Amino acid sequence: MNEQKLAIPPPEILAPAGNKASFLAAIAARADAIYCGLKLFSARMEAKNFTLEEFIALVRLAHKKGVKVFVAFNSLLKPGDLAQAGQMLDQLQRQVKPDAIIIQDLALLPLVRQTGFRGEIHLSTLANVSFPRALQVIRQKLLVDRVVLPRELNIDELKALAQVCPRGLDLEVFIHGALCYGVSGRCYWSSFLGGKSSLRGRCVQPCRRQYSQNSQTRRYFSCQDLSVDVLAKLLLSVPQIRTWKIEGRKKGPHYVYYTVCAYRMLRDHGRDPKMKKNALQMLEYALGRNTTHYFFLPQRPQNPVDLQGQTGSGMLVGRIKGSQQMPYFNTREELLPGDVLRLGYEDQAGHMIKRIARSVPKGGRMYINPPAKKGLAKGAPAFLTDRREKSLDDMIADLQGQLDQGPTSTGRSAIFKPVLPKAFSKKIKLLELPVYRSWSGSIPRSPCGIWLSGEAIKKAHSKMMSQVRWWLPPVIWPANEEQIYDQVQAAIKKGARYFVLNAAWQIGLFASPKRFNLWAGPFCNLANSLAIASIDNMGFNGAIVSPELDADDFLRLPQQSPIPLGIVIAGNWPLCVARSITQAIQLDKPFASPRGEQAWATRYGPDYWVYPNWRLDLQTHKKVLQKAGYSLFVNLFEAVPKKVKLKKRPGEWNWKQSLT
pLDDT at residue 653 is higher than 60 = yes
Q: Tell me which DSSP letter residue 300 carries.
A: S
Q: Are 476 and 347 found together in one domain?
A: no
Q: Are 378 and 439 found together in one domain?
A: no
Share of the chain above pLDDT 90, in %: 80
Confidence bin at 459 (pLDDT 50/70/90): confident
Q: Are 296 and 337 found together in one domain?
A: no
Its domain, for residue 247, covers 10-179+225-254+290-301
234 found inside a domain: yes
**pLDDT at residue 17, as a whole number:** 95
pLDDT at residue 100 is higher than 90 = yes
Confidence bin at 350 (pLDDT 50/70/90): confident
Q: Are 297 and 341 found together in one domain?
A: no
Q: Are 156 and 46 found together in one domain?
A: yes
482 found inside a domain: yes
Q: What is the dihedral of CA 443, 444, 450, 454, to 10 degrees?
A: 0
Q: Are 54 and 127 found together in one domain?
A: yes
Q: Are 295 and 338 found together in one domain?
A: no
Residue-wise pLDDT for 131-167, tens only, equals 999 999 999 999 999 999 999 999 999 999 999 999 9
The secondary structure element, H or E, covering residue 611 is strand 607-612
Share of the chain above pLDDT 70, in %: 95
156 found inside a domain: yes
**pLDDT at residue 349, as a whole number:** 80
The reported pTM is: 0.94
20 found inside a domain: yes
Which amino acid makes up residue 659? L
**pLDDT at residue 1, as a whole number:** 36
Q: Are 372 and 440 found together in one domain?
A: no
Q: Who has greater pLDDT, 345 or 17?
A: 17
Residue-wise pLDDT for 605-641, tens only, equals 999 999 999 999 999 999 999 999 999 999 999 999 9
Among 150-159, 195-204, 470-479, 553-562, where is mean pLDDT lowest? 195-204
List, in sequence order, every residue forming a beta bridge with 352; answer none if it has no partner.
Answer: 343
Distance (Å, whole) CA 6 – CA 8: 5
pLDDT at residue 308 is higher than 90 = no
pLDDT at residue 44 is higher than 60 = no
Q: Which residues have C-beta within 8 Å of that of residue 458, sequence separation ≥ 6?
A: none
**pLDDT at residue 4, as a whole number:** 46
**pLDDT at residue 2, as a whole number:** 44
Q: Mean pLDDT throughout 446-453? A: 94
User: Domain total for the chain?
Assistant: 3
Domain limit, last residue, from 390, 421, 447: 390
Confidence bin at 5 (pLDDT 50/70/90): very low
**pLDDT at residue 277, as a whole number:** 96
Confidence bin at 443 (pLDDT 50/70/90): low
319: CATH: 2.40.30
Q: How far is CA 73 from CA 31, 131, 242, 455, 531, in A?
A: 21, 23, 20, 41, 14
pLDDT at residue 375 is higher than 90 = no
Average pLDDT along the chain: 92
Distance (Å, whole) CA 149 – CA 158: 8
Nearest residue to 234 via CA among 165, 296, 161, 174: 296
Q: Are 249 and 161 found together in one domain?
A: yes
50: CATH: 3.20.20.70
